[in-house]
Structures are given as C-alpha cells and as structure tokens.
C-alpha cells in the first residue's frame, strides 16, 4: 500500500502538457494600457507626430526637394534619449536590404507585380539637415531607418520640433508603391522622413522597409505645401486650402455641383484633360493642403488628369485618371458605392474626401488617397479600386501594425471586400459566388509543409496572397457563418473598429474584444487559424437506428482543426433536415455520437452539405445514399 501510494504521488508530479485544442491561448498579460476585455485601458497612450512640409517637384530631373517640421509629442511614460525615423526612399539606395538582396518582385494572382527594387533604380534620400532648436542632431542611417540622438532625453509629456531638409530622385516606373511615368504622372508615398511608432508593446518599432511589410505609423495633423509646374493637377490626402489659386472657376463650380451628385460630375473632361496635357502651362503653382488625424500623407500629380467627382454623406468622392484609362469611366460609381457600403457596414468614413488615382501602381493605400491601375475586366477593376478604399478602414482608421501583422490589415480588408463585391455585383453570377474563391484558394495554396501561420511576418511569408489576404478572409467568413452567426460576428467586429479607431491595436486586443463581445471562448479558433496551420477533416463514420424513434450518427474529427459541424440528415421519405452541432462536441474526444429523436428512417447523412468549409477530405463527409 505504501509503495503503491509513493508511485502514484510520483506520477502525479510529472508535468503533463495540456494538448487539448481548447486549452487557453497564451496572450500578453493585460495592463492599464491594454485591458483584459480587449479595449484600450484607462492609461492607454500613443505618440503624436504632426508634420509641416514644403516640397518642390522639379519635373526636369524628377527631383523632389523638401523641408519639414515634425512636431513630436511624447505621450509615453518613458523618457526618450533618441528617436527612430523612417527614410523609406532608401529602399532604392545601395545600403538597403532590398537592394543588397536584389529580391525578385512580389507576384499576385491576376498579374499584379510589385518590384520594390525599382527595376534596379539607384536612388535614396539625402538628408541635408536634421536639427532641433537650431542644432544639428547626431544621426545614424541603417538603410531605410535612421536613429537620431536627442540633445536631452525627451521627458514624458514633453514635445520636440525637428527641422528637416531632404531631397531624392523620384524612382521611375516600377517602384513598387510609388513612382512616375516619365514626367507625365507622379505618385508619391513613403516620400518624407516619418517618425517610427513608439508603443507600449515593443518600444520603438524600427523594422526595416523591405517591401512586403507595409507601414506602422503614428497619427497626427499635416500641413503640406507642394510646388510644381502650373499645368499639373494634384490629388492628395487632405483638403486644398487655396482653391482659388489652384483651380479655375469652372473646376470650382463643378466640384460644388459634385458635392450632392449621386452620379459623377466631370470636373475635368476627357477633351479638357487631353488639351491640358498637350499644352504645358508656364510657371509653377503651389498647392496648400491640410489633414487632421491621419497616419500618413500621399499625393499624385499629372498635367493630363481627367477628374470625376460625386458626393455621399458629405464626403467628396474623386477619381483621377488618364484619358487612356477607358475602364475608369465607371470608377467614380464604384468608388461611391464602396465608401457608402463600408461606411454603412463597419464605421462611417471619417474624412472629407475619398480619392483614387489611376496610374502605374498596382494598388496602394494612403489616408484619403489610393493608387489603382486601370484594368480591362470590370470585376477586377472594381475589386482593386474597392480593396484599396477598404484600407481606409484597415489600417487607416484602425491603425494596426502592418509591418508585423498583415492579417489584421490586408486580411481584415479582404474579408470586408467580399461583402462589397457581393453588394456591387448583387444578382450576378459573379456577385453571388465570388466568396467561394476563398475555398478555391485554400485548395491551391494551403500546401502542407509550405503553408505558414498567419502570425508570420509579411517579409517571411512565402505565399503572401494566401497568408495575408485570402486565408484571413476565409477565417473570418468561417467565424461569421459557422461559429458566431452574422449578427454576433458583426457586433464584435464593429466594436473592435469602434474601440481601436485612430489607435494601435495588437492581436490580443482583437482576440479579447471578440471573446468579450460575443461571449464565446474562441482561443481554439485563433490558435488554429492564426498561430498554426491546422487542417480540417470532419467525417461521417456511420449511422445506426436505435429503437423505433432514434438515430445515432457517428462522427469524427480526423485532423487537428476543430470547428462546429453542420450535418444534413436525409430521410427515407425524401425530406431532409440540417442541424448545426456546436464545437463543444469535440471537448472530450475526437469522436462524437450525435443522437436524434426521429421516427423517420435516416438513409444518408452529409457533413458540411453546402461545402462551405476547407475540409481537406470531402470523400468521408457522406454516409449512405
Ligand atoms: Zn491591400
């Protein structure tokens, strides 16, 4: 007895790992900054960076020269001895990781190509001056990042102004997210030195700009003056402050008309754009723009823009395009539908205008402004135009860390995009089936051994289209349709947007918001979809009639992923019935006996009868005839 007891005690002391798929997810400990319920805590803080920029574009050598004042407020509880600054034009310098690796372009389905090397273009930014209070600051460049020593530690609550002067040659066609076509069209993103985010999770976030990972940026206000040849029209983040100096009376009158127009008003017609492009105007013009509470500023300019505008809910909807871009005749209608759809579904668009520019960039988003190519196929044109506008919600309104978590940016956006595509093409074969692309993508892309968890950093992802875009969209579709139901899902998603609007959420904030708002433990779901590459194989093993009024259906879960199970019962009399079994069916083991009280003989059962799940083996989903 004594011996036996000793053995038992020893056995009890051996640590046994909890391998249940339902074990708790390990999340960072909640703080006063990020609460256990997923909302910003009572001591939530984030830094503030506001910019006053004056830049001049010389279209001869295509050189952009600027001066900039950065007003930086330290809302953190820490004294900062130095700051990190992003100088992303250096992606085109020989010192950049991108140049050293000479990495091949990123290819996406549909033929979009992002060549971040600029097809071998050597450029980069020259910082002529980086000072504070008249004193030049010590700085060290590391490719696209620069560390700047402060004259004295910046105390919590204190602010500092940096005075910067810089210049760079504008990369030609192929520059990934920005660039130009000769001197006929310029699209500017990542163009001025910007403060790196300092947050409560990582401190500074100076992850290099390599290409695939986009941007994690502070919110602030912008006051920007752009000087360029007089014949160029500018489209930009922000509101034009000197309309009488930059727009003709005719343009101003048409813009006014567009404010309440449900269909496009042609602010600059095709004939006018063509004529403008053929006759360069002499001299230069300065455009003064301001923007409030945005995380970046982008702009585009061309002497031959067509410009359509309409209005929705006080928001000016603008589409700028070259006379050659025939598919863009419909772009304004697409843009207006998109802004309305996302506003009504997720959160009201918060800025005075939503503008998209047709050109060389295959698709890129900045606050209030997107860059989109002209695409012949109508569905694809809508998709890219709408997708880039979807980014106004993720990550322009909800400012997550794109350089680490593309699934919270591209992924959430791709999910909401399917709703917009279903709406715009409602009643067509495309509109009614477009979401099923996600299951096709699963079959093509979820290759065991190659697939990586969603949490993988974008620059480490072998299949970014799947890992950053489609899989997260499939994940949220499954969560909405199979786990939570539409109403509960949308309530949680809207609450996440409301809580983190103009803030910096982390993955745990998203998980905790969903758990708290939906009232459901979803740790198992996030583990499967975000942190692992678990696969699904639900199976119908057999069916047995028990007595005269019961049927037992024997089901099994043959792979790692657990999900609720939808079961269709087919009866001898030709009728059928569908039951949704909750995920708790897999609590005890990976086999489950579903018992149904029914006097009607069951002749067949089908698991996932609508084929809505990424089940890796559908051959075992059916029992009977
Ligand atoms: Zn995107």
CA of 82 to the centre of ligand 1 (A): 32
Expressed in angstroms and rounded, the spacing between residue 173 Cα and the centre of ligand 1 is 20
Distance 609 CA to ligand 1 centre (A): 32
Peptide bond into 561 cis (omega under 30): no
Q: How far apart are CA 68 and CA 53, in angstroms?
A: 4
Residue 526 CA to ligand 1 center (angstroms) comes to: 22
Backbone phi, psi, residue 316, to 5°: -85, 125
The C-alpha atoms of residue 480 and residue 494 are separated, in whole angstroms, by 13
Place of tokens 């990424």: 614
pLDDT mean over 282-307: 97
Q: Residue 61: which pLDDT band, with cuts at 50, 70 and 90?
A: very high
Q: Is the pLDDT of residue 108 over 80?
A: no
Q: Considering only CA atoms, which of 561, 556, 541 is closest in space to residue 605?
A: 541
Ligand 1 centroid distance, CA of 359 (Å): 16
Burial state string for 397-429 with b = 16 or more CB within 10 A and e = fewer than 16: bbbbbbbbbbbbbbbbbbbbbbbbbbbbbeeee
- pLDDT(527) > 80: yes
In contact, 53 and 223? CB cutoff 8 Å: yes
pLDDT, tens digit, for every residue of 362-388?
A: 899 999 999 999 999 999 999 999 999
Q: What is the mean pLDDT of residues 25-38?
A: 97
Taking the centre of ligand 1 as the mean of its atom positions, its distance from the CA of residue 386, in whole angstroms, is 10
Q: Are the CB atoms for 208 and 90 separated by under 8 Å?
A: no
CA distance linking residue 152 with residue 67, whole number of Å: 23
> Given pLDDT bands bounded at 50, 70 and 90, which one contains residue 226?
very high
Name the least confident of 10-14, 263-267, 292-296, 498-502. 10-14
Q: What separation in Å is there between the alpha carbon of 74 and the centre of ligand 1?
A: 30
Is the pLDDT at 173 greater than 70? The verdict is: no
Residue 519 has pLDDT above 80, yes or no: yes
Ligand 1 centroid – CA 410 distance (Å): 5
Lookup: tokens for 270: 């095709």
In this predicted structure, what is the pLDDT of residue 99? Answer: 84
Q: Is the pLDDT of residue 5 over 60?
A: no
> If you measure from the C-alpha of residue 576 to the centroid of ligand 1, how many angstroms do you get, rounded to a whole number?
42
Q: How far is the CA of 406 from the centre of ligand 1 (A)?
A: 9
What is the reported pLDDT for 499?
Answer: 98
C-alpha 391 to ligand 1 mean position (Å): 6
Token pair of 289, please?
A: 């723009």
Locate 145 and state its tokens.
Answer: 């990042």
Give residue 404 CA to ligand 1 midpoint distance, Å: 14
Strands, E assignment, 517-618: 538-546, 550-557, 565-571, 576-581, 591-597, 602-607
What is the structure's pLDDT at 98?
A: 85
> How remote is the CA of residue 469 from the centroid of ligand 1, in Å?
8
- Ligand 1 center from residue 75 Cα (angstroms): 30
Say if residue 18's pLDDT is above 90. no
Residue 218 backbone phi and psi in degrees, to 5: -80, 155
pLDDT in tens, 238-285: 999 999 999 999 999 999 999 999 999 999 999 999 999 999 889 999
What's the pTM value of the predicted model, to 2 decimals? 0.95
Span from the CA of 598 to the centroid of ligand 1 (angstroms) = 50
* Sheet containing 185-188: order of strands: 179-181, 185-188, 299-302, 233-236
* pLDDT value, residue 8: 53
Residues with CB under 5 A from ligand 1 (ion): 410
Cα(494) to centroid(ligand 1), Å: 20
Question: What is the spatial distance between Cα 193 and Cα 185, in angstroms, rounded to a whole number?
Answer: 22
Separation of CA 478 and ligand 1 centre (Å): 21
Range of lowest pLDDT (27-31, 213-217, 425-429, 433-437)? 213-217
Taking the centre of ligand 1 as the mean of its atom positions, its distance from the CA of residue 558, in whole angstroms, is 35
**Cα 468 to ligand 1 centre (Å):** 9
Cα separation values, 476 from 124, 423, 515, Å: 39, 18, 14
Per-residue pLDDT, 116: 80
Tell me the CA–centroid distance for residue 546 and ligand 1, in Å.
54
Count of CB atoms situated within 10 Å of the CB of 381: 21
pLDDT in tens, 389-415: 999 999 999 999 999 999 999 999 999
CA angle 153, 155, 158 (to 5 degrees): 120
449 CA → ligand 1 middle, Å: 26
Calculate mean pLDDT across residues 163-171: 96
| C-alpha 241 to ligand 1 mean position (Å) | 30
pLDDT value at position 1? Answer: 47
How far is the C-alpha of 170 from the C-alpha of 89, rounded, in Å? 9
Residue 112 has pLDDT above 90, yes or no: no
CA 124 to ligand 1 centroid distance, Å: 25
CA-based angle 126:129:130, to the nearest 5? 110
The pLDDT of residue 503 is 98
The share of the chain scoring above pLDDT 90, in percent, equals 87
Give distance in angstroms: CA of 329 to centre of ligand 1: 23
Q: Which two tokens stand for residue 199?
A: 């947050």
**Distance in Å, CA 388 to ligand 1 centroid:** 6
CA of 64 to the centre of ligand 1 (A): 26
48, β-bridge pairs = 73, 219
pLDDT value for 255: 98
| Of 509 and 458, the one with more pLDDT | 509
CA of 607 to the centre of ligand 1 (A): 34
User: How confident is the model over 448-482, as pLDDT tens digits?
Assistant: 999 999 999 988 898 999 999 999 999 999 999 99
Closest CA to 350 of 399, 303, 284: 399
CA of 372 to the centre of ligand 1 (A): 11
pLDDT single digits (tens) 84-104: 999 999 998 988 888 888 877
Q: What percent of the chain has pLDDT over 70?
A: 97
**Residue 573: how many CB atoms within 10 A of its CB?**
9
Ligand 1 midpoint to CA 395 (Å) = 10
Mean pLDDT of 512-540: 97
Backbone angles phi, psi at 136, to 5 degrees: -65, 135
Q: Are 170 and 179 in contact (CB under 8 A)?
A: yes
CA of 414 from ligand 1 middle (Å) equals 8
From the CA of 363, how far away is ligand 1's center (Å)?
A: 7
Residue 219 C-alpha to ligand 1 middle, in angstroms? 20
């Amino acid at each position: 007895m004594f011996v036996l007891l000793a053995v038992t005690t020893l056995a009890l002391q051996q640590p046994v790992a909890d391998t249940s798929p339902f074990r708790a997810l390990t999340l960072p400990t909640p703080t006063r900054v990020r609460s256990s319920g997923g909302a910003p805590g009572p001591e939530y803080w984030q830094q503030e960076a506001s910019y006053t920029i004056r830049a001049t574009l010389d279209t001869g050598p295509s050189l952009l020269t600027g001066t900039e004042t950065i007003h930086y407020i330290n809302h953190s509880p820490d004294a900062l001895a130095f700051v990190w600054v992003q100088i992303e034009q250096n992606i085109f310098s020989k010192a950049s990781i991108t140049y050293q690796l000479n990495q091949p372009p990123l290819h996406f389905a549909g033929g979009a190509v992002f060549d971040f090397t600029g097809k071998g273009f050597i450029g980069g930014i020259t910082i002529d001056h980086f000072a504070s209070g008249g004193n030049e600051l010590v700085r060290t460049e590391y490719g696209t990042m620069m560390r700047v020593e402060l004259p004295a530690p910046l105390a919590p609550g204190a602010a500092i102004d940096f005075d910067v002067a810089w210049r760079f040659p504008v990369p030609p066609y192929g520059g990934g997210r920005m660039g130009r076509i000769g001197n006929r069209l310029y699209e500017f993103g990542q163009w001025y030195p910007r403060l790196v985010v300092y947050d409560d999770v990582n401190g500074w976030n100076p992850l290099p700009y390599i290409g695939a990972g986009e941007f994690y940026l502070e919110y602030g206000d912008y006051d920007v003056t752009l000087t360029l040849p007089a014949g160029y029209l500018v489209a930009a983040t922000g509101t034009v402050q000197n309309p009488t100096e930059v727009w003709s009376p005719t343009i101003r009158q048409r813009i006014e008309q567009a404010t309440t127009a449900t269909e496009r008003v042609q602010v600059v017609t095709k004939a006018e754009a063509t004529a403008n492009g053929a006759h360069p105007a002499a001299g230069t013009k300065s455009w003064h723009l301001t923007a409030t509470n945005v995380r970046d500023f982008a702009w585009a300019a061309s002497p031959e823009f067509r410009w359509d505008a309409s209005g929705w809910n006080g928001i000016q909807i603008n589409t700028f395009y070259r006379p050659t871009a025939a598919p863009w005749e419909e772009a304004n209608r697409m843009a207006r539908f998109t802004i309305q759809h996302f506003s009504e579904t997720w959160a009201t668009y918060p800025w005075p205008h939503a503008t998209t520019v047709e050109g060389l960039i295959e698709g890129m988003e900045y606050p209030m402004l997107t860059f989109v190519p002209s695409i012949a196929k109508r569905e694809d044109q809508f998709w890219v135009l709408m997708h880039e506008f979807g980014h106004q919600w993720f990550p322009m309104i909800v400012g997550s860390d794109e350089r680490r978590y593309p699934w919270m940016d591209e992924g959430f956006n791709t999910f909401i995009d399917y709703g917009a595509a279903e709406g715009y093409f409602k009643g067509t074969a495309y509109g009614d089936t477009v979401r099923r692309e996600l299951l096709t993508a699963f079959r093509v892309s979820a290759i065991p051994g190659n697939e990586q968890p969603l949490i993988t950093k974008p620059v480490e992802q072998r299949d970014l289209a799947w890992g950053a875009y489609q899989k997260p969209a499939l994940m949220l579709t499954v969560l909405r349709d199979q786990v939570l139901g539409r109403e509960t899902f949308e309530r949680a998603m809207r609450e996440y947007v409301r809580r983190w609007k103009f803030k910096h959420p982390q993955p745990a904030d998203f998980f905790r918001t969903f758990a708290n708002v939906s009232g459901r433990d979803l740790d198992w779901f996030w583990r499967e979809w975000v942190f692992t590459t678990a696969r699904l194989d639900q199976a119908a093993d057999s069916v047995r009639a028990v007595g005269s009024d019961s049927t037992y259906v024997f089901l099994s879960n043959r792979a790692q992923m657990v999900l609720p199970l939808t079961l269709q019962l087919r009866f001898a009399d030709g009728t059928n019935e569908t039951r949704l079994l909750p995920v708790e069916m897999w609590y005890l083991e990976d086999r489950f006996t579903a018992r149904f009280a029914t006097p009607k003989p069951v002749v067949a059962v089908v698991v996932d009868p609508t084929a809505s799940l990424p089940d890796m083996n559908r051959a075992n989903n059916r029992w009977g005839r």
